[in-house]
């Protein structure tokens, strides 16, 4: 891996407007801890990137501190994004949509990596996930349906699970993925389909 030589401190959330693409060119973006957040478990932090409906975020390294990571509002593509040290969480689905993460990696989350707060299809393709409490958490107590698709990924060192939900309608399909030390793997997930793992 080549470490980015350019690091950009983000003072105010970078908004990628509907349908637009933000290409970071491999540069590292870090949160200003005084304005966005210090990457702790505080729930009052702002995201580094906010993706409006149809936005694409690509070729970005999110460094430490990562505050509240990336928030999506609608459909989004997150391609070749690396979280070097997850903040409160790495990415949150804030509004209904089809969110795709393609390539990239995330590591070192104290609790959640991906937080699902709205009905969605969430595809995670060719991704590397290491060291967190859980990789994906549907917001506690919610009963909407989310469909998780994981393919071609490598998942290691989750204390609790790959996916945890409280919703009996949510589902996960995982294919062609290597995993180890992922706790219960599926925590309260009623609908699981797996092959080639
Ligand atoms: O118990 O605190 O949704 O980070 C509820 C949790 C939850 C948060 C939040 C988030 O509300 O984790 O998006
Ligand atoms: Ca949280
Ligand atoms: Ca961390
Ligand atoms: Ca959060």
**Residue whose CB lies within 8 A of the most ligand 1 atoms, among 89, 115, 138, 144, for a mutation test:** 115
Q: Which ligand is nearest to the CA of 38?
A: 3
| Res. 2 pLDDT band, cuts 50 70 90 | low
Contact in structure between 99 and 123 (CB atoms under 8 Å):
yes
- What are the backbone angles phi and psi of residue 23, rounded to the nearest 5°? -110, 110
Ligand 3 (single-atom ion) residues, CB below 5 Å:
85-86, 108
CA distances for 126 relative to 45, 80, 193, angstroms: 28, 10, 18
CA-nearest residue for atom 2, ligand 1, is: 43
Which among 102, 81, 91, 100 has a CA at the least distance from the CA of 29? 81
Q: Residue 49 and residue 78: Cα distance in Å, rounded?
A: 11
CA-nearest residue for atom 3, ligand 1, is: 139
User: Other CB atoms closer than 10 Å to residue 131's CB: what's the count?
Assistant: 17
**Residue whose CB lies within 8 A of the most ligand 1 atoms, among 71, 88, 117, 136, for a mutation test:** 117
Residue 87 has pLDDT above 90, yes or no: yes
For 157-189, how does the pLDDT look when each residue is reduced to its tens digit (9 = 90+)? 999 999 999 999 999 999 999 999 999 999 999
What is the percentage of the chain residues whose pLDDT exceeds 70? 99
Q: Which residues pair with 195 in a beta bridge?
A: 175
Average pLDDT over residues 134-157: 98
Ligand 1, residue 92: give the atom nearest the CA. Answer: 13
Average pLDDT over residues 9-37: 98
Q: What is the pLDDT of residue 1?
A: 58
Q: Residue 96 and residue 186: Cα distance in Å, rounded?
A: 23
Q: What is the pLDDT of residue 3?
A: 80
Residues in the ligand 1 pocket, defined by CB under 6 Å: 43, 88-89, 92, 115, 117, 139-140
| Res. 5 pLDDT band, cuts 50 70 90 | confident
Q: Residue 115 and residue 92: Cα distance in Å, rounded?
A: 5
Q: Residue 90 and residue 177: Cα distance in Å, rounded?
A: 20
Q: What is the pLDDT of residue 197?
A: 98
Q: What is the pLDDT of residue 183?
A: 98
CA 105, 124, 72, 131 torsion-angle sign? negative
Q: What is the pLDDT of residue 4?
A: 84
Q: Residue 5 and residue 195: Cα distance in Å, rounded?
A: 40
Q: What is the mean pLDDT of the chain?
A: 98
Rounded to two decimals, the ipTM of the complex is 0.89
Average pLDDT over residues 144-150: 98
């Amino acid at each position: 891996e080549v470490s980015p030589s350019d690091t950009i401190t983000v003072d105010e959330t970078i908004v990628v407007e509907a349908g637009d693409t933000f290409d970071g060119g491999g540069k590292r973006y870090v949160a200003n801890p005084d304005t966005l957040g210090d990457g702790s478990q505080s729930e009052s932090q702002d995201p580094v990137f906010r993706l409006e409906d149809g936005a694409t975020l690509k070729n970005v390294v999110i460094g430490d501190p990562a505050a509240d990571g990336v928030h999506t509002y609608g459909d989004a593509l997150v391609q070749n994004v690396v979280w070097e040290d997850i903040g409160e969480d790495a990415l949150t689905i804030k509004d209904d949509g089809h969110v795709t993460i393609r390539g990239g990696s995330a590591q070192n989350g104290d609790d959640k990596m991906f937080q699902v707060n709205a009905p969605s299809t969430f595809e995670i393709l060719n991704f590397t996930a290491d060291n967190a409490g859980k990789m994906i958490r549907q917001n506690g107590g919610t009963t909407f349906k989310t469909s998780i698709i994981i393919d071609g990924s490598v998942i290691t060192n989750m204390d609790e699970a790959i996916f945890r939900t409280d919703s009996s309608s949510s589902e996960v399909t995982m294919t062609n993925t290597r995993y180890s030390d992922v706790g219960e793997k599926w925590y309260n997930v009623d609908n699981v389909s797996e092959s080639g793992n």
